[in-house]
Amino acid sequence: MNKHILILCLLMLCLSALAAQATEAAEAVQKAVPDSVKIQREREIVSEYGFKIDNTLAEVARKLLIADVDQWKRYLGLEPANKKLDSMSLDRLGIAPYRALLAQQYSVFGFTELSTLSEAAAAKHMPIKKLKQMLGLSDVNSRKWDRMSLQAMDFTPQQIEKLHQDFTDNSLRYGVNVTLVGMLTVFLALLITSIVISQLIHLNRVPKKKQADIVLDAKGKEKSSSATLNKDIIVAAIAALHIHQQSIEDRRKLALTFRRTPTNQWRASAVLSMPNREMGTKRR
């Protein structure tokens, strides 16, 4: 029983040792990658800008063509007002050449080559989709590019600055074109609306009154008539109108005769108000 316990303990110790070794190897690889990139980038800086770690801070500022030295020193974590630091070397100040270059990029552009694409767009106040489109990236709506550094995407801050300048130059022209198109669209819409509204009167046109063929005066005599109308027709129309009026008058008289309001003769002669009633009433 004790042998089995010892074997299990030994196996667990072996597994933990292997896991620790794998973790250390992973950390070593992760540290080796930025160190190798840093060394390679520092070699490029030496060949491109011509300064080394033993150059003074003032010499490095001149070779990097830094305009705002105070801001550059502030990004390096140094005191901007301390002029004694200008005569010290980068080695003495503990500043690597790559860090000096990053500080120069930040003081000039507001971002560095290690900044992500979204950080660069925010620093330049550019729409990130427009920046992706100008960089020629595929699928500008994808967010996989947003958290990638400019160095990983093989872009430099100078390229971003040039694209920003082009965007600024064309933004004014683009804004003017959009404004003109919008104004023309509004004016055309108002013109078409006014034309349509002016034509709506023809949809609900009042029908013209038809002129009468025969016009009579108050006495029933012909006042005017159509030139194409036959005289016999006029006479027949007047006779028909006269007969119609006579028939209406006759019917009105018959209605008055048969529909006369009934009356009570007893009530009309005041028979009900008898004098005996007055005599028989007692006075109080």
DSSP states of 71-116: HHHHHTT--TT-GGGGGSBHHHHT--HHHHHHHHHHHHHSS-TTSB
Q: In sequence order, what are the beta bridge partners of 215?
A: 224
pLDDT of residue 188: 93
pLDDT by residue, tens only, the chain of 284 residues: 455 666 666 666 665 654 454 344 334 223 334 566 667 777 777 778 888 888 888 888 888 888 888 888 888 888 888 888 888 888 888 888 888 888 888 888 888 888 888 888 888 888 888 888 888 888 888 888 888 888 888 888 888 989 888 888 877 776 788 788 999 999 999 999 988 888 877 776 666 776 666 666 666 666 666 666 666 776 777 788 778 888 888 777 776 666 555 666 656 555 555 555 555 555 55
pLDDT of residue 258: 60
Token pair recorded at residue 283: 């006075």
The Cα–Cα gap between 126 and 179 comes to: 20
pLDDT of residue 238: 74
- DSSP class of residue 155 equals -
- DSSP, collapsed to helix, strand or coil, labels residue 178 as helix
Q: In terms of Cα–Cα distance, which of 151, 149, 133 is closest to 141?
A: 133
Residue 106: burial class (beta carbons within 10 Å; 0-12, 13-18, 19+): buried
Token pair recorded at residue 175: 């804004």
Residue 268: burial class (beta carbons within 10 Å; 0-12, 13-18, 19+): exposed
pLDDT of residue 184: 92
Are 175 and 167 spatial neighbours (Cβ–Cβ below 8 Å)? no
Return the amino acid letter for 175. G
pLDDT of residue 32: 37
